Amino acid sequence: MKLFNVCLFSLLLSISSAATFSPKVGVNYGTLGNNLPKPTKSVELIKSLKAGRVKLYSPDPEILTALGGTNLQVSIMVPNEIISNISTNQKMANDWIKTNLVAYPHTLIRYVLVGNEILSFMTEADKKIWHGLVPAMRKIQYALKVNGIRKVKVGTTLAMDVLESSFPPSNGTFRSDIADTVMKPMLQFLSNTKSFLFIDCYPYFAWSQSYKTISLDYALFNGGVTYKDPGSGLTYTNLLDQMLDSVHFAMKKLGYPDIRIWIAETGWPNGGDIDQIGANVYNAATYNRNLVQKLNAKPLVGTPAMPGVVLPTFIFALFNENQKGGPGTERHWGQFYPNGSTVYPIDLTGKTLVSSYPPLPKPDNNEPYKGKIWCVVASDANMTQLADAVTYACGQGKGTCAAIQPKGNCYNPNSLVSHASYAFSSYFSQMKSQGGTCYFNGLAVQTAKDPSSGKCKYPSVTLP
């Protein structure tokens, strides 16, 4: 009888935890754009995706207020800059929780992430922060307790470069500079608090760096390709599972095989620069739709090394964000354009069959681009900033801007825009091999259309 009671009790427990903890795919609400909708409108857009959760990169008061009264579960983030201070100052942790969580009683804040990918920042100053990370997580956890809050989990986001080896997945190993000093105490903390390891996991990056050896179908969950890990004997049908399992095996190596994984960011860019392979609407829609179908499958599938587990996930990102630096893909991860139109329809509950969406524009960059590219002024460039960018571009290489001097072949038309396009192309062609990019804070874009005319020849970059 007693045994029966125990069994019934644990059965009830597992039913109730399954009922309250569902995949509920969420979205990352990044705000690095100067043209994004207001928070109230953005919250409507999040709901229109049928998202269950939303992750914020800062505890923005206007956004937290706009999320009030919705049933969206919210994740807020302690900025990297204050991790060190919080790690040694319980009062600061208490105050932070009061100001950014307790102050929003109508907002379902359920996760506090202490910092964003801090273990991927490598300066000496950043490394000092690493050592404060787990102490800061503990102080935030204690601050929740002090404030009488029980339902909130504490974590931190990691990027895949916390692993020094991720292939084959059974060989997954944390970097030696963090394994014992940071990861072990962190895993102990996550285990004690039944929290999650939050990992940013992008098959897109792995594939685009190795598109010659990794099949695109494998990265997009299209099936038809499998990989057998010789170490574990497990068979993989997609790249995401393989990457997640490498994290699982790394945790297992440190003695924590049971910590649940939370995909804090994943996604696929819907556009990018001409020299960036596979970044297009077709692949982005395919990746994200197949992903949400897999995450919401019943029964749950998990991964080969973690069969049947829930994989809670935040897709990156809500909007295309025009103020993110780096290559063009960085500004093209959105489900929405800044004007609020969807880039492609998606239902994050996974209930809409992938085959039932309207047809998508066929991809035209799934093979590497071959030919010349130039770097010209973007159509929405801020004219006030253009002159400084030209000065910068002309000051980097040798004779970069000789042709736009008064006697040069490209002096006419004598306009700022035309001189800037020449200067950007010239800079790009000289500096690309040394890491120079065609970006200039959003003032420049790549083009495959030769801007040269008459005697004025614009320098170009030839790919591959």
Ligand X SMILES: *[C@@H]1O[C@H](CO)[C@@H](O)[C@H](O)[C@H]1NC(C)=O
Nearer to ligand X, 166 or 208 (CB): 166
Rounded to the nearest whole angstrom, what is the least distance from the CB of residue 230 to ligand X in the complex?
A: 8
- Could you give the CA distance from residue 215 to residue 61 in angstroms, rounded to a whole number? 43
Q: How many CB atoms lie within 10 A of CB 77?
A: 19
Question: Phi first, then psi: what are they for 81, rounded to 5°?
Answer: -65, -25
CB 319 within 8 A of CB 33: yes
Which residues ranging from 357 to 386 are in contact with ligand X (CB under 6 A)? 382, 384-385
Q: Determine if 141 is a binding residue for ligand X (CB under 6 A).
A: no
Out of 35, 40, 85, 414, which residue is the one contacting ligand X (CB under 6 A)? 85
Rounded to the nearest whole angstrom, what is the least distance from the CB of residue 177 to ligand X in the complex?
A: 13
Nearer to ligand X, 72 or 82 (CB): 82
CB-facing half-sphere around the CA of 420: CA atoms within 13 A: 23
Q: How many CB atoms lie within 10 A of CB 376?
A: 24
Residues in the chain, total? 464
Catalytic sites, residue numbers: 117, 265
Rounded to the nearest whole angstrom, what is the least distance from the CB of residue 408 to ligand X in the complex?
A: 28
Candidate segments 101-109, 131-139, 249-257, 334-342, binder of ligand X by CB under 6 A: 334-342
Rounded to the nearest whole angstrom, what is the least distance from the CB of residue 334 to ligand X in the complex?
A: 10
Q: Are strands 260-266 and 371-377 parallel, antiparallel or unpaired?
A: unpaired
CB 191 within 8 A of CB 258: yes
- Could you give the CA distance from residue 331 to residue 271 in angstroms, rounded to a whole number? 8
- Binding letters toward ligand X, positions 154-173, x by CB under 6 A: ----------xx-x---x-x
Rounded to the nearest whole angstrom, what is the least distance from the CB of residue 75 to ligand X in the complex?
A: 22
- Binding letters toward ligand X, positions 285-324, x by CB under 6 A: ----------------------------------------
CB 322 within 8 A of CB 256: no
- Could you give the CA distance from residue 137 to residue 319 in angstroms, rounded to a whole number? 29
CB 92 within 8 A of CB 143: no
Nearer to ligand X, 229 or 265 (CB): 229
Rounded to the nearest whole angstrom, what is the least distance from the CB of residue 361 to ligand X in the complex?
A: 11
Out of 5, 20, 123, 339, which residue is the one contacting ligand X (CB under 6 A)? 339
Q: Determine if 335 is a binding residue for ligand X (CB under 6 A).
A: no
- Number of residues in contact with ligand X, rule: CB under 6 A? 13
CB 217 within 8 A of CB 225: yes
Q: Tell me, what DSSP letter sits at residue 456? A: B
Q: Determine if 411 is a binding residue for ligand X (CB under 6 A).
A: no
Place of tokens 């919080």: 86
Q: Determine if 275 is a binding residue for ligand X (CB under 6 A).
A: no
Name the residues that contact ligand X, by CB under 6 A: 82, 85, 164-165, 167, 171, 173, 337, 339, 341, 382, 384-385
